[in-house]
Homo-oligomer: A and B are copies of this chain.
Amino acid sequence: MKYCSECANPVELMVPAGDNRPRYVCTHCATVHYQNPKMVLGTIPVWERDGEVRVLLCRRAIEPRYGYWTLPAGFMENNETTADAAERETQEEAGANITLGPLFALLNVKHVHQVHMFYLATLRDLDFAPGEESLDVKMFTESEIPWDELAFPTIHTTLECFFADRARMLEGGSYGFHTQDITRPMRGDS
C-alpha cells in the first residue's frame, strides 16, 4: 500500500496515537488503513461405498503450487457465510454436488496472515468435473493420497486429521473438531 484509498495522498507506516502497532496512515486525511488476516474456506468431499472411503482432490491449474493436489478451497468473500464460501469453492473448483456437514478443522497460518477452515461434506453423486482453476479432479482412498504432491501444509494436516478420525470411528468414535497452528513453511503457500 502506497497511497490512501480515500484521498489518493501518500500513506506512511507509523504507530497511530493510542495504538501499539505500525499502520498505513494517510499523510493528508489521517485515515488509518488496517490490514487483517483472511479466511480460506474449503471442504473435505467424501464418497463412501461398501465400507471404502474416498476423498475428492483437485489438481491446481493456477499458481501458487500449479500441478499440486488440494482440497477444494479459496478466499471467503463479503456477503457470504463460512459455509456458503466452502460450498461455492467446491462447486467452482470441482463442479461437485455436495451436502455440507459440520466444520472439521480450523488452522492458523500466521506467517501468511490466513486462517484456513474445512467443512466435512458428502458427495451427492459422481458428476464432478474440473473448474477453471483445476487441471483434474479425482477421488482417492487413504492409500492413494499423493502425500508428496499436496499443495499446502493445511491440506496435509486436514487429511491426516480426517483419516485419524476415520480410524477411531472403527472403534466407535466420531469426527472431532480440530484446531492447529501451522508453522512449517512451504514454497508458494502465500
A residues with CB within 8 A of B? 1-9, 11, 18, 21, 33-39, 75-84, 102-103, 106, 108, 110, 113, 115, 132, 177, 179, 181
Contacts and interface: CB of A to CB of B under 8 A. Distances in A.
Nearest to A133: B18
Given A5-B5, A80-B110, A81-B110, 11 more contacts: A2-B7, A3-B6, A4-B5, A5-B33, A35-B78, A36-B76, A36-B78, A37-B39, A81-B181, A82-B106, A103-B106
Contacts of A7: 2-3
Nearest to A35: B78
A179 B120 CA distance: 14
Number of this chain's copies in the complex: 2
A84 B7 CA distance: 34
A18 B62 CA distance: 13
B110 A39 contact: no
Contacts of A6: 1-3
9 contacts: A2-B5, A3-B3, A4-B5, A5-B5, A5-B33, A36-B39, A39-B115, A76-B115, A106-B106
Nearest to A80: B110
Contacts of A36: 38-39, 75-78
B1 A34 contact: no
A24 to B, nearest CB: 8
